[in-house]
Amino acid sequence: MQTINNIRDLKDHFGCKQITGIQRAIFKSTECGCIFNETTTGVSVCGYAEGSDAECEPHRLDYPFNITEFYVRLEAADKEGVEMWYEWDSMDPDAEEDTTRAEDDRQRADDINETLRDIGGGL
């Protein structure tokens, strides 16, 4: 298990010369585009819910930490960001209650099938 004692160790792990390389790698490798920051005592990763006003709490790691712990925190942050995005995306401001993404998808599928049946190509 690799121990990360400082930002230089983490840059080496990611094969980057600058922190922006780590930020880019984490953003692109996570479903929600997690955010990476250096802190005064270590690093933090945070989920991101694009297009929402929601804010995810950062997951902080103080030096030294092992790389497995880093990836566990990164996975948790990504999961939180994705969940928050789905939660935010499923809210309909004109409805009295929130609708779920699955209900919206089912309705769209029903509408498409109805249209296809109307034109003679129903599923």
Confidence of residue 50 (pLDDT cuts 50, 70, 90): confident
**Residue ranges of the domains in the chain?**
3-89, 93-123
> Is the confidence at residue 114, as pLDDT, over 90?
no
**Angle at the Cα of 45 from the Cα atoms of 43 and 48, rounded to 5 degrees:** 155
To 10 degrees, the CA torsion angle through 33, 10, 3, 79?
A: 0
Q: Mean pLDDT, to the nearest integer, of 102-113?
A: 59
Rounded to whole angstroms, how far apart are CA atoms 117 and 109? 12
Query: Taking 90 as the threshold, does the pLDDT of residue 22 lie above it?
Result: yes
Query: Is residue 62 over pLDDT 70?
Result: yes
CA distance 97 to 9: 49
- Give dist(CA 9, CA 2) in Å, integer: 9
What pTM, to 2 d.p., does this model score? Answer: 0.69
